[in-house]
Chain A
């Protein structure tokens, strides 16, 4: 892309992208309005598959939102010079992804018209309730942090603000993970590993999103990221991908050996049709092994674009993982009467299936659309392009350790 020489084409492209994001967003809003009007009958969700595709997308966005902030934290909190110029973009992505994810969750509510009730009534024992504090808090703190980064006069406060944002995001992801961890009755979710697992997954997905956006922005501006910086980032992604895989393995192993959820694990990992396929093919192969090869096999990882491709695959794997985790966990019947074969008019003892319908698909995808729209506009209005002062980095030795 040679937009640098052709500002008119660049401008046209920008408006095209805004229109695209706007269209996807509008379609989602329309779908939400329709769902609000007709009720959830028009979706594929039901009283067995309580949470569906909108939740898969929303939880991806929310988890990745807190993870993408990591790039900034590494710069401000751990003082790594390479990451510092990336902090503003990381903050912007965190805010926009969280906004997109939350919008989807809110629009999927049975009574989206009662948003005000959600804000004014608070149940301290509910993990969801905590999130009502955690999410606006995240907006405020990251917003403040962005300010300290982008306003020279505020720069001295960047470090404390960065630390606050870092701690807050850890709590936030713990909160998101705990939404599931607290569901004691469900085979898929009643595990203490879930909260830490989500934290690592968030590191992984967040960095992948960051790398993709950064790559596109550089290409847009006709730039190339310095190979040494790129290698650092890609190695970090590799570490996160491997660590996440470790936690996912621990989660399934504890389910097998401690919680004795054999039947459930057999379903998810072996016999459940779509779910084992998505888990092994989507998450394990495409989302974990392939990226690790792309990132670590020297001959491949040196090729430009390999890290970008790896990031895309990680995100594909993320969706596969969340689909298996959220939908698979509900498709499998609750075990109310251990030792009995169970039948009823309401899927007891039966494995269910989920077929999303267009309103919820449009709503789910519009989360990405909203994020895309905000980011596209944001990076054009403000200076979010990470700009590396290579001479200085080299001088300080930040590129060699």
Chain B
């Protein structure tokens, strides 16, 4: 299939770029460990609470105007429908540009589902469709989502979208459809196979690190132990899985 060849070629390219980037940045050497999030889980084995998936985003490396992560996400997750009003389209990940009101310093960063330890969307969901998997990934069980959108009201990060129209061109691995709420899944279908989320793999700057927050030896834990990081709206005490560095 040319499609999959194209895909694997791109994946390979991205990996190569990421690899070179890692080599070029001596302190970032352990980024090589990044190309594998972990071993694929064996068939039949449930997600384990021993693992907590998380992501560290280095905003100092994230370029304003670059949306490689957004594009990769859309490709991977089959977010390809056209909508007349962009606000009715799904945004699993979006780029936000920041400018400090006092100093004028600017930052750019991707905003995605923050995979909270205490997710408000899960608390408010009337049917229990909003759920947190044992390994900390927050998902919508779209088999029982009724599309009430209360979770969208509750999410502090505007990370959730309602699918506003019938779809036909889904990626078979990423079912999504009209009337249900959806959001970033950390590419759960890839993570379960031992791969990285698409955005992490696509980032040309290697600004995103994905891994197990519970494993002190994982790349992400090592980085978090060395460098200052923050959580967005830390005042809400949601203990997100996504952390930011440089803001």
Task: Name A's B-contacting residues (CB within 8 A).
Answer: 36, 38-41, 46-51, 105, 109-112, 114-115, 117-118, 121-123, 125-129, 131-132, 179, 182-186, 330, 334, 336-337, 339-348, 352
Roughly how many angstroms separate A46 CA and B160 CA in the complex, as a whole number? 11
**How distant is A369 from chain B, measured CB to nearest CB, in Å?**
22
A121: chain B residues at CB < 8 Å are 126-129, 144
**Which one of B91, B150, B155, B233 lies within 8 Å of A126 (CB-CB)?**
B150
A340: chain B residues at CB < 8 Å are 98-101, 107
**How distant is B198 from chain A, measured CB to nearest CB, in Å?**
18
CB-based contact B154/A185 at 8 Å: yes
**Which one of B147, B155, B164, B180 lies within 8 Å of A46 (CB-CB)?**
B164
Roughly how many angstroms separate A46 CA and B86 CA in the complex, as a whole number? 9
Roughly how many angstroms separate A186 CA and B156 CA in the complex, as a whole number? 7
Q: Can you name the residue of chain A whose Cβ is closest to the Cβ of B149?
A: A50
B124: chain A residues at CB < 8 Å are 125-128, 182-183
CB-based contact B150/A179 at 8 Å: yes
Q: Which residues B123-182 have CB closer than 8 A to chain A?
A: 123-129, 144-150, 152-158, 160-166, 178-181
CB-based contact A128/B126 at 8 Å: yes
| B187 contacts the other chain (CB 8 A) | no
**Which one of A46, A111, A127 lies within 8 Å of B146 (CB-CB)?**
A111
Q: Across chains A and B, which 7 residue pairs bring their CB atoms closest together, nearest first?
A: A110-B147, A185-B156, A110-B179, A128-B126, A46-B87, A121-B127, A39-B165
| B215 contacts the other chain (CB 8 A) | no
CB-based contact A40/B156 at 8 Å: no
Q: Which residues B187-219 have CB closer than 8 A to chain A?
A: none
CB-based contact B158/A346 at 8 Å: yes
| B13 contacts the other chain (CB 8 A) | no
Number of A-B contacts (CB under 8 A): 181
CB-based contact B125/A126 at 8 Å: yes
Roughly how many angstroms separate A341 CA and B91 CA in the complex, as a whole number? 21
Besides A340-B107, A341-B98, 15 new A-B residue pairs in contact (Cβ under 8 A), listed by A number: A38-B166, A39-B163, A39-B178, A40-B164, A47-B89, A48-B87, A50-B149, A110-B179, A110-B180, A118-B127, A128-B125, A128-B150, A184-B236, A339-B100, A346-B87
**How distant is B82 from chain A, measured CB to nearest CB, in Å?**
11
CB-based contact A336/B233 at 8 Å: yes
Roughly how many angstroms separate A47 CA and B111 CA in the complex, as a whole number? 15
B165: chain A residues at CB < 8 Å are 38-41
**How distant is B138 from chain A, measured CB to nearest CB, in Å?**
14
Determine which residue in B89, B127, B128, B233 has the highest number of CB atoms from chain A within 10 A of its CB, and name it.
B127
Known: A47-B162, A343-B97, A348-B96. A109 touches B88 (CB 8 A): no
Sample of 10 A–B contacts (CB below 8 Å): A46-B85, A122-B126, A126-B126, A128-B150, A182-B124, A183-B120, A330-B153, A336-B111, A336-B157, A340-B100
A127: chain B residues at CB < 8 Å are 124
**How distant is A90 from chain B, measured CB to nearest CB, in Å?**
29
CB-based contact A117/B178 at 8 Å: no
CB-based contact B100/A109 at 8 Å: no
Determine which residue in A49, A50, A51, A132 has the highest number of CB atoms from chain B within 10 A of its CB, and name it.
A50
CB-based contact A185/B88 at 8 Å: no
A38: chain B residues at CB < 8 Å are 165-166
B61: chain A residues at CB < 8 Å are none
Roughly how many angstroms separate A341 CA and B104 CA in the complex, as a whole number? 9
**How distant is A148 from chain B, measured CB to nearest CB, in Å?**
31
